[in-house]
């Protein structure tokens, strides 16, 4: 994607808070912010963290260039001193947290941001914007991956969301285990495999379905997928094999009662000698319809609307809260909200999980705010889930770019296999792991 400043992809009040804090002399107070969720939206059994690599790249690009400063000056809601401060802004603090692709639960300390108040508060909106969107997509995609029972899934929802969100949705779905995307920009930007053959319009363009199939095979050979439901599906199968032969790679079904239709198509393909021709389906699928096809002769799925909209849960409700700060005497104080329904827990935290193959709880360790990350030692039997992401303003490059996506995809595959059986349920319910707090 184009490298531009991300500094104005924020909320107005982030800048007014900085302005007021600079005036009050509190802007430079050392502070700890935390990103977490109070609950799993949509009654998910677990959630998947995605967007971390994008977030780190956005933080690197969070600069107020002359263009941004001129816009703010014209708006005339910030003092000249604040504009000067923004002109020199770059994040110089440290960030630790869960790696991209990691699973999480209510109150998991997804990110811990340590900096001055002004440096840290400016990142609130951009961090939440990226992580809430991408994690909702990845969580939905992960559930679909589980429901597919190791059958291939392709993301094809570009026309069901904005042109920019489509690229990021493809990235998140790929991290969660999807095999490919239809979006070429996602392929270019993130090295995700791309796929696609033809729509119904290509068949309707030609004088007959057979002519359309022959034209497609002439262009791509038998290693292609023919869409067989523009007219009559049974005749479509006959025309597909007539055009491509029994070595046709696959046929696609985009309508009808899929379990019934797929079974009929499989039997017909086999009767024609096309035993190796696979069946892919693309008819308004979500994790529930995919699970219902567990015993159907379907080899792969193409998912559109459901995955790019988070399958009914388009955000995960992450929040970015101040949890500790120095007072005017330089002493550290844990701070937290007491608002009804929005209570938070103060103090700097790290995430841990049992070393056993199948964890039984999410353990959140509360540490002294002065403790450096490398000094944190989990108790015996617990593994540290949190990891350093930014150290004194320097971003760990392993967590960004194509390399970061590959690492996130691998991590998620491992975590998915370690979840307890209850996590595989698609029914609404309590999180698969309870969250417990301990003092370190």
* CA 196-202-208 angle, 5° bins: 135
| Last-in-domain residue among 247, 269, 285 | 285
CA trace torsion 78, 82, 84, 89 (10° rounding) = -120
Total-model pTM: 0.95
**pLDDT class of 25 with cuts at 50, 70, 90:** very high
Q: Is the pLDDT of residue 3 over 60?
A: no
In angstroms, the CA 315 to CA 318 distance is: 8
The helix (run of H) or strand (run of E) holding residue 116 is strand 111-116
Q: Are residues 319 and 396 in the same domain?
A: yes
Residue 155 domain-assigned (yes or no):
no
Is 28 within the bounds of a domain?
Answer: yes
* Residue 367 shares a structural domain with residue 431: yes
Q: What is the pLDDT of residues 40-79, one digit of tens each?
A: 999 899 999 999 999 999 999 999 999 999 999 999 999 9
Residues 262 and 317 occupy one common structural domain: no
Residues 341 and 416 in one domain: yes
Does 344 share its domain with 398?
A: yes
Report the interhelical angle of 124-148 vs 401-418 (nearest 10°): 50
pLDDT tens digits along 216-248? 999 999 999 999 999 999 999 999 999 999 999
Residues 271 and 351 in one domain: no
pLDDT at 60: 96
258/345 same-domain check:
no
DSSP assignments along 292-346, one per residue: HTTTSS--EEEE-HHHHTTTT------EEEEEEEE-TTS-EEE-----TT-----
pLDDT given at position 67: 96
Decide the pairing of beta strands 250-253 and 225-227.
Answer: parallel
- At 251, which CATH number? 3.20.20.70
Whether residues 43 and 131 share a domain: the answer is: yes
In this prediction, residues 264-270 reach a mean pLDDT of 98
- Strand, coil or helix: what is 231? coil
CATH number, position 433:
3.20.140.10
Domain assignment present for 101: yes
Distance CA 165, CA 275 (A): 39
Together in a domain, 416 and 344? yes
Terminal CA-to-CA distance of the chain, rounded, Å?
41
Do 342 and 277 lie in one domain? The reply is no
What single-letter DSSP state applies at residue 373?
G
- Are residues 435 and 364 in contact, defined by beta-carbon separation less than 8 angstroms? yes
Total count of domains within the chain: 2
Cα–Cα distance, 177 to 319 (Å, whole number): 26
Same domain, 331 and 401: yes
As a whole number of angstroms, the distance between CA 90 and CA 218 comes to 55
Among 277-281, 301-305, 372-376, the minimum mean pLDDT is found in 372-376
- pLDDT of 358 reads 80
Strands (E), 121-229: 152-155, 180-181, 225-227
Residue 398 is assigned to a structural domain of this protein: yes
Task: Specify burial of residue 12 (Cβ count, 10 A radius: 0-12, 13-18, 19+).
Answer: exposed
In a domain, residue 13? The reply is: no
Residue 375 domain-assigned? yes
Residue 204 maps to a domain: yes
Does residue 7 sit within a domain? no
The beta-carbon contacts of 264-273 under 8 Å, at least 24 apart in sequence, are 264/233, 264/234, 265/228, 265/233, 265/237, 265/297, 266/297, 268/234, 268/237, 268/238, 269/237, 269/241, 272/237, 272/238, 272/241, 272/246, 273/241, 273/246
Q: Are both 321 and 429 inside the same structural domain?
A: yes
Q: Which domain holds residue 105?
A: 23-59+93-114+123-137+313-439
């Amino acid at each position: 994607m184009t490298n531009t400043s991300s500094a104005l992809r924020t909320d107005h009040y982030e800048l007014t808070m900085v302005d007021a804090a600079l005036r009050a002399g509190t802007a430079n107070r050392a502070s700890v912010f935390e990103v977490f969720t109070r609950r799993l939206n949509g009654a998910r059994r677990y959630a998947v963290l995605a967007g971390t690599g994008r977030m780190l790249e956005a933080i690197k690009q969070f600069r107020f260039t002359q263009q941004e400063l001129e816009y703010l000056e014209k708006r005339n809601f910030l003092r000249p001193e604040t504009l000067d401060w923004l002109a020199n802004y770059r994040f110089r603090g440290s960030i630790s947290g869960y790696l991209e692709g990691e699973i999480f639960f209510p109150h998991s300390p997804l990110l811990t941001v340590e900096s001055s108040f002004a440096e840290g508060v400016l990142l609130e909106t951009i961090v939440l914007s990226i992580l809430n969107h991408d994690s909702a997509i990845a969580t939905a995609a992960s559930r679909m991956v589980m429901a597919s029972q190791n059958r291939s899934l392709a993301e094809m929802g570009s026309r069901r969301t904005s042109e920019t969100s489509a690229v990021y949705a493809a990235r998140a779905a790929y991290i969660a285990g999807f095999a490919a995307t239809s979006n070429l920009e996602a392929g270019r930007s993130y090295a995700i495999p791309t796929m696609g053959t033809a729509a119904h319009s290509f068949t309707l363009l030609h004088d007959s379905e057979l002519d359309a199939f022959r034209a497609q095979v002439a262009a791509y050979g038998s290693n292609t997928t023919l869409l067989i439901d523009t007219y009559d599906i049974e005749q479509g199968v006959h025309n597909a094999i007539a055009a491509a032969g029994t070595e046709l790679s696959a046929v696609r079904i985009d309508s009808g009662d899929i379990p019934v239709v797929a079974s009929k198509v499989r039997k017909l393909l086999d009767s024609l000698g096309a035993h190796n021709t696979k069946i892919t389906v693309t008819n308004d699928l979500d994790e529930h319809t995919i699970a219902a096809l567990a015993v159907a002769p379907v080899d792969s799925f193409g998912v559109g609307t459901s995955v790019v909209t988070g399958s009914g849960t388009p955000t995960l409700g992450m929040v970015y809260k101040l949890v500790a700060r120095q007072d005017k005497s330089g002493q550290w104080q844990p701070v937290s909200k007491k608002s009804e329904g929005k209570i938070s827990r103060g103090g700097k935290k790290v995430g841990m999980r049992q070393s056993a193959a199948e964890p039984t709880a999410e353990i959140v360790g509360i540490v002294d705010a002065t403790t450096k990350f490398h000094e944190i030692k989990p108790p015996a039997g617990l593994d540290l889930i949190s990891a350093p992401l930014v150290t004194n303003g320097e971003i760990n490059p392993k967590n960004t770019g194509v390399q970061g996506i590959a690492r996130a995809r691998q991590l998620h595959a491992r975590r998915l296999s370690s979840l307890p059986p209850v996590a595989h349920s698609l029914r609404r319910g309590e999180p698969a792991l309870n969250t417990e707090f301990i003092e370190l």
